[in-house]
Amino acid sequence: MTSPLYLAIDTPHLEAAHSLANSVRRHVGGFKLGLEFFCANGHHGVHEIAKLGLPIFLDLKLHDIPNTVAKAVQALRLLEPAILTVHAAGGRAMMEEAKAAAGKNTKIVGVTVLTSLDSVDLDDIGVGGTPHDQVARLAALVREAGLDGIVCSGHEVRSARKAWPGGFFVVPGVRPANGLSADQKRVVTPQQAMNDGASILVIGRPISQAQDPDLAARAIEATL
């Protein structure tokens, strides 16, 4: 059975990223490559990590006018990522264009509310209600646009799964019971996230900054 645990690799240094990914590849189900890695290493970097044989989650959070996002997704098709993110706040048309432009083996998921944001932050940017309210609104829009699923915190995944039983739910901001939250404000444990309906879990620093990343990955995997 494939592990639902995806390691977030957030470094601009390809050699360090490859070494980390190789050290934990037996105990994770895939690798999440974000903006920091992609801006530094581009297509070449993604290809190098993909050589390790695990699925790639390309977390670029695309957010622009529909035509621009569609062309960006087309430009990424050669990489064949297993998962690619767009911002749900970009609207229905943008998400529809992104899905239409994606390869048949790529899941397009909509980012709802970042795990670094809370109700005060949403109010600052003019979004009314709680993170839970906003996730529910955007999840419904993502589903209507024909995407595969959403990215949400573990605090919202239970209700999101209930509203969308067939959806694909990516839960970042996951921390072991004894882990530090750092800049994440809405975190849950790996086991809680899975019990509440997560499809995959994204974990970064608790593994990547551990003294022994492979041991840390094994310890988290054991809790699942």
Backbone region of residue 170 per phi and psi (left: phi > 0; alpha: psi in -120 to 50; beta: other values) = beta
- Interval 206-214 mean pLDDT: 93
Position 56 confidence tier, pLDDT thresholds 50, 70, 90 = very high
Catalytic-residue membership of 71? no
Q: Which residues pair with 84 in a beta bridge?
A: 58, 108
* Residue 110 tokens, joined: 């909509």
Q: Domain range for residue 99?
A: 5-222
What is the residue-averaged pLDDT of the chain?
A: 92
Give backbone dihedrals phi and psi of 104, rounded to 5 degrees, phi first. Answer: -65, -20
Residue 75: what pLDDT?
A: 97
CA distance 26 to 30: 10
* First CA to last CA distance, the chain: 12
* Residue 80 tokens, joined: 């064949």
CATH code, domain with 83: 3.20.20.70
Count of structural domains, the chain: 1
The one catalytic residue in 61, 71, 99, 162 is 61
Give backbone dihedrals phi and psi of 27, rounded to 5 degrees, phi first. Answer: -125, 15
Q: Per residue in 101-153, pLDDT tens?
A: 999 999 999 999 888 888 899 889 998 888 899 999 999 999 999 999 999 99
Count CB-CB contacts under 10 A for residue 128.
9
Instruction: Provide, rounded to the nearest whole percent, the portion of the chain with pLDDT above 90.
Output: 79
Q: Per residue in 57-115, pLDDT tens?
A: 999 999 999 999 999 999 999 999 999 999 999 999 999 999 999 999 999 999 998 88
Residue 182: what pLDDT?
A: 47
Residue 183: what pLDDT?
A: 46
